[in-house]
Structure 1
Amino acid sequence: MRKLVKKIIVKSIGLYINLLSYVFPEKATRLAYRLFSEPREGRFRPEEVPEMLKEAMADMITHDDMIFQTYTWKGNDQIILLVHGWESNTSRWENFLPYLKKSGSTIIALDAPAHGLSSGTEFNIPEYAEFVNILVEKYKPQMMVGHSLGGATCLYFLEHYQHPSVEKVVILGAPSELQTILNNFRNMLSLNTKVFRMMEKYLFQHFKIRAADFSGKKFASRLKIKGLVAHDEEDTIVDFEEGKQIAEAWKSAIFIRTKGLGHSLHNRELYQKIYNFLFDKSSVA
């Protein structure tokens, strides 16, 4: 019953945007983009910071008119950067941190725009990648791990910034095609062609990239660094084929297919395989 009510509400919002597009097209476009880009979960207030984050050295970095939150677990000169996904925050790495800590490495993570304690109301990959680049320039990590849209952000970052310090990258449950994400959003709200085309135009005007060109598999196909891609067959958020396409295009990547882990991919065996890949231990097969 709850799912049915939610579906009716979502379709009603889509109908309103469709009708609005014939009278106030720019307003309809802004509303559609706002629904597409504003996370509804993943934030918390300073007094709500999870215990695992209180153990880290916290720092806020200012860039233009944005402030983004970072966390550092200090170790040796080997540095790992963690990049979380949509409607999440740095705390999503809680179960994975013990595996990374046993390597003795320094671990750095950040809250995405409009997530955790970072400022902003909008999430978009180009801006997130800009934040990532600031940290990479500052700390020069040799390894990166990204989950979901955080993984897509890592691929975008590697394509557009090409920083030489990064040697290994792990991509977990990431989407490949922006066009697919847009199509799914359109279908969810039943947006008409007029609104959908205006949204695509809006994205191009603001980020100078066409949806068809925003492709994780294309970005991955040009990578020469070592990669590990993991995706679950039963992922209901990002289709398994998306991860498979990224892995197949990435010539120097290992692909791990899981089953029953869903989109989160929280699993001790998988974490051990990632650890083995990052630190050249035993087999990751």
Structure 2
Amino acid sequence: MKHLVIALLRLKFFILSYVAPKQAVNSATTLFFTPRRHAPRAQEEAIKKDAIKHTLDDGTVYYEWGEGEPILFIHGWEGRATQVCAMLSPLVNAGFKVYAVDAPAHGDSSGDKSHPGFFVSTLFALEEKIGAFHTIIGHSMGGGSATYAITQGLKTKKVVTIAGPSNFHDVVKSFVDFIGLQGKAKSLFMAFVAEEVGIPYAQIATNKLSDATQVLVLHDEDDREIPVKHALAYKDDALVKIHISKGLGHRKILYTNEAISVVVDFIRQDFSHSHSLNRCS
């Protein structure tokens, strides 16, 4: 059934691309900028009970746990703040205060439209509200938005990008190819998205990272949504550490001992794998 729905969607955009390109662009724009809200897992609901909930003036919701230097988690497209669940206890036990945000039109935050520009704006709004974060951890779009934000002046000691894009153009092009936009409609859509989002079609951060920020790039070889080439676009050097896993895909990587150990050790200044951490799956 799922394959039939996708086939019909692609047929719709293929036809509209030629007979009504502006309508095709309008329909594609609505689809691209409108995230679906998915129900949280039981483990995610459980961590809400121990959280302090906050709401920004624009309706953006974020949560707080623990005491210590602040760490921020920002989820990916169609994700939610409580996807921090698996790494929450290890981070709190390590002496950090953990914040996690529902980006606009995600989770419990208000709105029905979102895009990477909104994610980036949310990071700056939280920095203004809370102060500079010790570390920002981002999954998927959250990771790409975090690395882009530090090129725009966001202050943080460390960034962890998990399954995140390093190139915005590739993300949009993948969407265009998936829905089957053609010809003029494809060109119009690509141009409109770049203008609307306000993030140029260039590498998000690989060549412009701050000299004051350490970055961990965590990705899986078998990620089908954001290919591992995005991680390999970064240069592994004194400031950027790249860790490639296998068999975890795009989302499972958030919940496994291997990934969480690497993240916690990076934040605590080393890359040993000495931690035995609980899973949230």
Which bin holds the TM-score, normalised by the shorter protein? 0.7 to 0.9
- Say which of 144, 147, 167 aligns to 1:152: 144
The alpha carbon displacement at 1:57 in A equals: 0.2
For residues 47-104 of structure 1, what are the alpha-carbon distances to aligned partners after superposition, in whole Å with 9 as ceiling and x for unaligned? xx812112100011113xxx1001001312x110111101110121111111101112
1:121 aligns with 2:112: yes
Judge conservation of contact 2:37–2:107 (CA < 8 Å) in 1.
no
Runs of 4+ in 1 over 3 A off after TM superposition: 41-44, 207-210
Contact 2:221 2:228 in 1 (8 A): yes
Q: Does 1:169 align with 2:146?
A: no
SS of 1:50's partner is helix
Verify the 8 A CA contact 1:169 1:227 in the aligned structure 2.
Answer: yes
| Two-structure CA RMSD over aligned residues (Å) | 2.2
Deviation string 1:237-276 (CA, Å, 9 cap, x unpaired) is 1101111113x27651111110111112121122122111
Per the TM alignment, residue 138 of structure 1 is displaced from its structure 2 partner at its CA by 2.2
Letter aligned with residue 86 of structure 1: W
Is 1:188–2:178 an aligned residue pair? yes
* Cα distance in 2, alignment partners of residues 14 and 99 from structure 1: 46
Asked whether the equivalents of residues 43 and 88 of structure 1 are also in contact (C-alpha less than 8 Å), the reply is: no
Instruction: Determine whether 1:226 maps to 2:225.
Output: no
Indicate yes or no: 2:231 matched with 1:243.
yes
Bigger mean CA deviation after superposition, 144-153 or 185-194: 185-194
Instruction: State the shift of 1:152 in Å.
Output: 0.5
Q: Is the 8 A contact 1:11 1:190 kept in 2?
A: yes
| 3-state DSSP of counterpart to 2:54 | strand
Query: Structure 2: how far apart are the matches of 1:8 and 1:279?
Result: 47
TM-score normalized with structure 2 length: 0.87
In structure 2, what is the equivalent of residue 142 of structure 1? Answer: 134
Residue number in structure 2 paired with 1:39: 35
Letter in 2 for 1:36: F
State the 1:41 CA deviation. Answer: 3.3
Q: SS where residue 243 of structure 1 aligns?
A: helix
Q: Aligned residue for 1:4?
A: 3
Identity of aligned residues (%): 23
Matched residue, 1:179: 169
1:281 offset after TM fit, Å?
Answer: 4.8
Equivalent residues in 2 for 1:43-54 (5 A)? 50-54=45-49
Per the alignment, residue 60 of structure 1 pairs with 55
Q: Name the SS for the 1:116 alignment partner.
A: coil
Q: Structure 1 unaligned segments of length 5 or more: list them.
A: none
> Displacement, 1:121?
1.4
Structure 1 distance, partners of 2:194, 2:113, is 16
Which residue is 2:195 aligned to?
Answer: 205
C-alpha displacement of 1:3:
4.0
Q: What is the CA-CA distance between 1:15 and the residue it aligns to? A: 2.8
Under a length normalisation based on structure 1, what TM-score does the superposition of the two structures give? 0.86
User: In the alignment, which residue of structure 1 is the partner of 2:278?
Assistant: none
> Residue 261 of structure 1 aligns with which residue?
248
The corresponding residue for 1:88 is 79
Change (3 A) 1:204 1:262: closer
User: Does the Cα contact within 8 Å between 2:18 and 2:182 map onto a contact in 1?
Assistant: no
The structure-2 alpha-carbon separation of the partners of 1:204 and 1:236, relative to structure 1 and needing over 3 Å to count, comes to closer
- Separation of aligned partners in 1, 2:37 and 2:267: 30
Give the SS at the match of 1:217.
coil
Question: 1:249 and 1:29, CA in 2 relative to 1: closer, same or farther beyond 3 A?
Answer: farther
CA–CA distance in structure 2, aligned partners of residues 205 and 29 of structure 1: 14
1:14 CA drift (Å) = 1.2
User: Unpaired runs of 5+ in structure 2?
Assistant: 275-281
